Copies of this chain bind each other. A is one copy, B any other.
Amino acid sequence: MSTAPSRRSEKARQAILEAAFGLCVERGLAATTIEAIAARAGVAKTTIYRWWPSKAAILLEVVEVRRSADGGYPDTGDIMADLATQTANVTRLFETELGAIWRGLIAAAQTEDIAAEGVRRILRGAIDECVARLAKARDAGQIREDLDLEIAVELIYGPIYHTWLLGTRAMSPPFMDSVLDALRPSLQPPPSCGVGPPPVAG
């Protein structure tokens, strides 16, 4: 979220990212103003406007920095278990401070192009990771051959975002278990009808 012509003050950048994060945690992204970020960071407004085109851009950078500390997609060899782990991680993350910011960015993305692009970019990375894991699982015979993996990602994460963003229900861990259980027939290869080994067992 910025070009970096070496002349730039890294100290100011850090202060801005931290101030923005702190303010969003305290009052939410929508109630966080650029003036307040500048004030808390001990920085001039101009310094912010010089490097970021909007409030959303700052927070996108915050999210990216923090997200890059993640490990990759879980891989125990058992795709259903890994999906359960990962979706549980996601739902847990959504309840944290970072989740609140992410929610605000998604809201902003409905209006601002900058936010929309940023959100898409971040999601693209996450989706690609998930698709890669699913591809590996498919090679291991754990996922139906005929399933478009991008669609699979929508099936898995669609219900999470639907629930989370629209507040149609509480987003408890049992909920995600139910979703994955329900999706199992769509994800896994069909049973070979009595004879032959069960789908997962080696």
User: Interface of A with B (CB < 8 Å)?
Assistant: 28, 30-31, 103-104, 106-111, 116, 119-120, 123-124, 127, 147-148, 150-152, 154-155, 157-163, 165-169, 178-179, 182-186, 190-191, 193-194
Contacts and interface: CB of A to CB of B under 8 A. Distances in A.
Contact of A183 (B107, B155, B191): B155
B103 A110 contact: yes
A123 B166 contact: yes
Contacts of A148: 178, 182
A184 to B, nearest CB: 7
A111 B104 contact: yes
A3 B162 CA distance: 31
B166 A161 contact: yes
Given A104-B111, A106-B110, A186-B184, A169 B155 contact: no
8 contacts: A28-B111, A103-B110, A120-B168, A148-B182, A155-B155, A155-B159, A158-B163, A186-B186
B151 A178 contact: yes
Contacts of A179: 151, 154-155
B167 A119 contact: yes
A127 B163 CA distance: 12
Given A155-B183, A159-B155, A182-B152, A111 B107 contact: yes
A161 B161 CA distance: 8
Contacts of A107: 106-108, 110-111
B168 A127 contact: yes
Contact of A109 (B124, B147, B166, B191): B166
A189 B179 CA distance: 17
A194 B190 CA distance: 13
Q: Which of A110, A119, A120, A159 has the most CB of B within 10 A?
A: A110
Given A157-B162, A165-B165, 13 more contacts: A104-B111, A106-B110, A119-B166, A123-B166, A148-B182, A154-B162, A154-B163, A154-B179, A155-B155, A158-B160, A161-B165, A161-B166, A183-B186
